[in-house]
Amino acid sequence: MIKERCITCIICPKGCRISISQIDGELTIDGYQCSRGNDYARQVVEFPVQMLTTTVSASHDHHIRIPVKTTREIPVNTIKEAMRKIRAVRIALPVRIGEVIVENLLDLDVDVIATDSVTPHNWRNHES
């Protein structure tokens, strides 16, 4: 089976385009300009991670949503459990941008923070 994809290396500002192909499980990586890019591409394939962005509910009204994100990427295989945890959160307004909403999500050493300020006066901008 052949799997191919292209990624942009995010390790340094050069942003090399790296092609990754897997033919019968054998990995071929091209396009990187240094070993860090090669390591990054391997990590993308072997331990996929992604940023999680979502919303949480205000405690007094679940229609009011507060936009949040993880402070860094988390393993893709933890996303479902992370969403379950975040969905259960209720936050009292006001919330300030950067405020920690969930500390140490799933013991991943990652916090969930608000990406905007939401007050009782501007919450209409954040309705679901």
Q: Is 20 in the site for ligand SF4 (CB under 6 A)?
A: no
Sign, CA dihedral 61-65-70-73, equals: positive
Query: Among 29, 37, 55, 126, which residue sits at the site for ligand SF4 (rule: CB under 6 A)?
Result: 37
Residue 13: which of 42, 41, 33, 38 has the closest Cα?
33
Q: Which residue of this chain has its Cβ atom nearest to ligand SF4 in the complex? A: 37
Q: Is 84 in the site for ligand SF4 (CB under 6 A)?
A: no
Of 33 and 104, which has the nearer Cβ to ligand SF4?
A: 33
Least Cβ distance, residue 46 to ligand SF4 (angstroms): 17
Least Cβ distance, residue 14 to ligand SF4 (angstroms): 4
Q: Which two tokens stand for residue 95?
A: 């919330």
What DSSP state is assigned to residue 36?
A: H
Q: What backbone torsions phi and psi does residue 86 show, to the nearest 5 degrees?
A: -70, -40
